[in-house]
Amino acid sequence: MTIQQLRLPLSIKPSVSQRPDLPYRTRFKSALAGDLNFHGKNSAYASHNFHSFPAKFPPQLPRKFIEWLTNPEDLVLDPMMGSGTTVLEAFLLGRRGLGFDIDPLALRLCKAKVTPASLQKVTDAGYQTLEQANIALQHDATSLATLLDNRFDGATREFVDYWFLPETQLELMALICEIEKVQDVIIREFLELAFSAIIITKSGGVSMARDLAHTRPHRVSNKTPRSAIAQYRYRLKKNIQSLVELIAGKGNVILLEGNAQSLTLKDNSVDLIITSPPYAANAIDYMRAHKFSLVWFGYPIKELSQLRRQYIGGESLVDVQLLEMPDYPAQALAKIAKRDKKKARVLHRYYSEMTRCLSEMYRVLKPGRAAIVVVGTSTMRGLNTETHICLGEIGKNSGFDLVDIAVRKLDRDKRMMPARKNAQPNSQIEERMHEEYVIGLYKTTDRLLKGDQLCLKKSDGEFCLRPESMMRCLTQSARPG
């Protein structure tokens, strides 16, 4: 493919009614009240589709709030950035994007998605890697097999052998060896992303897994995986085409490995937050899917399993600190505990972690600014967890004003959601699984959070401490039971 064959950049038009005449909070409310479904809209522009990612939100969602609520160069934060939809939109709209995640694949793919690599260089290097990998497969398969033998430790080797056929392993080895030879870091990372994208797909890509997107992989013995070489060629072409649109971006982005529960940011420093946390109880288990490609980048499987424990919404109850909850989530937890104590504790862990995240969001956000948290709800032992209402309450307890909770209908064909066993078609709960909630939080100018205490502004302009501590710890080290 030559550069001349590529499509020209799309002009990304701003949405119409942003109402700059309205006061900020009214504008925020009005943005929440408008259409947030975005059905039928193209979500694949720029680099948004470089790589699949479960439960990413449509780019139109962060775009709308960025356009309505920020000015060029404002700082837009996503503390759990996932595939980087928010930070990429900030970049395309000429804002400063700031993203955190603990997932190594999320960090890698965000970086490639916001870096407009040279078209000529990626095209040349990309097709060179393909050509050389083919040559190695045809003429030097024995050396490739030796390299493959030495690449993984014992446990990682077992994992790779279970999930990838020997012929696929050889093809992947040939490709990764050629990609690793590329000196230019930006180009190499672009190619690594194309490599990863052929492994992590809805259908399990070139592995023997099915349904990787739902991060509940099952090995399918009768699957005939597609050729890794052919898939890489296809993906490379697609990503190079998308790169053309990325080049139109005018902003800049900082991506950091970091935990959303303790952000390395100054108080009152961010202009807008748009984020979507993981589901409770590991409904989407990111690491379980991402390790399929991370092992090829040199991550030992044991290290990845350790990291998995740090993900918000995990199921382990070892060494977790459960926090006291406000009324609504406390009652919801009590109802679930009547049916299943363990499940209630897992959900309690999630709400405790989200309490820390929301407190951090409150701390780093400038007064008079908005935070948007997009969540789905789930069912536990037949009860709807009403996650959106619980998180809204926790947000209020962290100091925010709850402006509204908007509902958006998921495009069933697009968004990859947790699969549910034994779902009753058309039941009310099942309907809710196809909805998502956009929680609109606002940090007023008359409150400040100092340490772990909420301060209210008095009429004379002084701040006083609210008496009760906000994050009282219920247990030091809760254990399953």
Ligand X SMILES: C[S@@+](CC[C@H](N)C(=O)[O-])C[C@H]1O[C@@H](n2cnc3c(N)ncnc32)[C@H](O)[C@@H]1O
Which residues are at the interface with ligand X (CB under 6 A)?
A: 53, 55-57, 80, 82-83, 85, 100-103, 106, 259-261, 276-278, 286, 310-312
Q: Looking at beta carbons only, is 101 or 271 nearer to ligand X? A: 101
Minimum Å gap between C-beta 282 and ligand X is: 10
Minimum Å gap between C-beta 257 and ligand X is: 9
Radius of gyration of the chain (CA): 23
CA angle 119, 132, 210 (to 5 degrees): 80
Q: Looking at beta carbons only, is 144 or 417 nearer to ligand X? A: 417
CA angle 384, 314, 442 (to 5 degrees): 65
Q: Looking at beta carbons only, is 115 or 276 nearer to ligand X? A: 276
Minimum Å gap between C-beta 59 and ligand X is: 8
With H, G, I as helix, E, B as strand and everything else as coil, classify residue 452: coil
Minimum Å gap between C-beta 149 and ligand X is: 32
Look up residue 405 and give its amino acid: I
Q: Looking at beta carbons only, is 170 or 273 nearer to ligand X? A: 273
Minimum Å gap between C-beta 294 and ligand X is: 12
Q: What is the per-residue burial (b if ≥16 Cβ within 10 Å, else e) of 264-276? A: ebeebebbbbbbb
Which residue in the shown chain puts its C-beta closest to ligand X?
82
Minimum Å gap between C-beta 268 and ligand X is: 21
* CA distances for 404 relative to 63, 318, 322, 366, 387, angstroms: 19, 35, 27, 19, 14
Angstrom distance (rounded) from CA 216 to CA 202: 11
Q: Looking at beta carbons only, is 137 or 255 nearer to ligand X? A: 255
Q: Looking at beta carbons only, is 182 or 295 nearer to ligand X? A: 295
Q: Looking at beta carbons only, is 169 or 261 nearer to ligand X? A: 261
* CA distances for 427 relative to 3, 124, 147, 412, 437, angstroms: 51, 53, 53, 16, 18
DSSP strand E in 47-135: where?
75-78, 96-101
> What residues have CB less than 8 Å from 152, skipping those under 6 apart?
160, 295, 300
Q: Looking at beta carbons only, is 260 or 405 nearer to ligand X? A: 260
Give the pairing of strands 252-257 and 453-457: unpaired
With 0-12 / 13-18 / 19 or more C-beta atoms within 10 angstroms meaning exposed / middle / buried, residue 218 is exposed
Q: Looking at beta carbons only, is 103 or 393 nearer to ligand X? A: 103
DSSP strand E in 344-472: where?
365-375, 379-380, 383-384, 401-409, 435-443, 447-450, 453-457, 463-465
Q: Looking at beta carbons only, is 405 or 438 nearer to ligand X? A: 438
Minimum Å gap between C-beta 333 and ligand X is: 20
* DSSP state for residue 270 in the 8-state scheme: E
Minimum Å gap between C-beta 274 and ligand X is: 8
Q: Which H or E run contains 257?
A: strand 252-257
Minimum Å gap between C-beta 107 and ligand X is: 9
Tell me if 293 sits within 8 A of 392, measured CB to CB. Answer: no
Q: Which H or E run contains 209?
A: strand 209-210
Minimum Å gap between C-beta 65 and ligand X is: 13
